[in-house]
Every structure is written in C-alpha cells, then in structure tokens.
C-alpha cells in the first residue's frame, strides 16, 4: 500500500459530506452513544461497498442501470426524508432541556449511518474508480480488500474524533435557538446533497 493511496484516502475523509453532517446531528440530538452508533453504521456501510467493489459485484451493480438507479433514488429519498425531518424539528422548536436529553440511541444511530452510506451509489462508483489506480487487476482479492477497507477504518477514526469534539460542546449546542439553526442548516444541506445526487448519472 503506497503513501499516495493513504494521502488520497485522508483527503477524501476530511472533506465534509453527508457522513460528517449526519454524525454531528445525531451526536448533538441524542448524545455520544448515538454518535458512535452512527460512526459504526457508516463504517459498516462503507466496508460493505468496498467489499462489493473488490470482489466484482460493485461493477455489476453499476453496469445494471435499473438496479443502480433503484439504489440511487432510494438514497435521494432517504436524504430528502432526513432533511425534511430536520426542517420539521427546526420549525417545531420543541426540544428537551439540555440536562434532560439522555445519551441514547446507539442502534438508531447505527441504522441511520448504515442507510445513509449504503443508499449512496457514489461511494460504490468512488471505490470502482479509486482502487484500480492503486491495485493491479491481477492482484489477489485480499489485496483489493485490504486497500478497500482502509477507507472505512480511517474514516471511522476521523468521525469518532468528531463525535468526541461535538460531545465536549454539546451542552452549548443543545440551546434551543442553536438547535433550531443546526436543524435548519443540516436540513438544507441534506436536501442539497439529495438534489445533487439526483442530477448525477
């Protein structure tokens, strides 16, 4: 595994996107356990996409356009649903007091993280575009898997740091006005990501 590959992986990971947004929102809304659950879900979804790309299934999915489009539009619908849920929360403005918000929802966070990643066909296309640049076509499957799984492992470490950072300032972020701003902005970004995904082939 080359240093160039690791640099590319790090550059991708630190670029803000849906994974970071969903992780932050879940951490603020439901606490550290929910944040770490989201991280594990995102990691599991990313790892599955990496495995599919490594064993050749991913290429089949991309070539079979009806299947690819189903995954794509499921991802669009899910992001829109998350965005609208955030907007509804911002409009209602009804939140528990900071001290009353329990640190819960690890399973729910995992589900949100996994679905966000698995319904994003851009991840599959990304793996299919990236891996062949650094792995020889004749390389053993284990080499492909080793390269593919670097992304979710390092990505989970980065997102875990974000969860820890958000946890430290969570009480400040739980103020009602701040929560409404966070929900309104995150809703806009989620719907924006969905719109961008819907325009892509």
Does residue 61 sit within a domain? Answer: yes
Indicate whether 135 belongs to any domain. Answer: yes
Domain that holds residue 62: 18-92+99-199
pLDDT tens, position by position, 74-121: 878 888 888 888 888 778 766 555 444 445 578 889 999 999 888 887
Mean pLDDT of 148-168: 92
Tokens standing for residue 95: 């939140």
List the structure tokens of 16. 């803000």
Q: Does residue 7 lie in a domain region?
A: no
Long-range contacts of 133-141 (CB under 8 A, 24+ apart): 134/1, 134/2, 134/4, 134/5, 141/54, 141/55
In a domain, 13, yes or no: no
pLDDT value of residue 35: 92
Residue 140 CB partners (closer than 8 Å, separation 6+): none
Q: Which residue has the tokens 């209602």?
A: 92
Question: Binning pLDDT at 50, 70 and 90, where does residue 160 land?
Answer: very high
Q: In this prediction, what percent of the chain has a pLDDT beyond 70?
A: 90
Nearest to residue 109, comparing CAs of 48, 21, 46, 40? 40
Domain for residue 10, yes or no?
no
Is 1 a domain residue? Answer: no
What is the value of pTM for the model shown? 0.77
Name the domain count of the chain: 1
Find the mean pLDDT for residues 176-195.
80
């Amino acid at each position: 595994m080359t240093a160039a590959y690791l640099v590319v992986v790090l550059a991708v990971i630190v670029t803000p996107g849906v994974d970071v947004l969903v992780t932050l929102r879940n951490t603020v809304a439901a606490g550290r356990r929910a944040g770490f659950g989201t991280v594990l879900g995102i990691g599991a979804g990313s790892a599955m996409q990496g495995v599919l790309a490594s064993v050749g299934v991913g290429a089949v999915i991309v070539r079979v356009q009806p299947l690819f489009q189903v995954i794509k539009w499921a991802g669009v619908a899910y992001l829109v649903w998350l965005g609208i849920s955030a907007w509804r929360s911002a409009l209602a403005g009804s939140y528990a007091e900071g001290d009353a918000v329990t640190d819960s929802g690890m399973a729910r966070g995992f589900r949100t993280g996994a679905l966000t990643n698995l319904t994003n066909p851009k991840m599959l296309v990304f793996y299919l575009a990236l891996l062949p640049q650094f792995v020889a076509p004749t390389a053993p499957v284990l080499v492909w898997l080793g390269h593919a799984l670097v992304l979710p492992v390092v990505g989970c470490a980065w997102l875990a740091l974000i969860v820890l950072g958000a946890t430290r300032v969570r009480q400040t972020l739980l103020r009602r006005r701040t929560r409404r701003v966070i929900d309104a902005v995150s809703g806009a970004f989620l719907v924006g990501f969905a719109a961008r995904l819907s325009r892509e082939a």
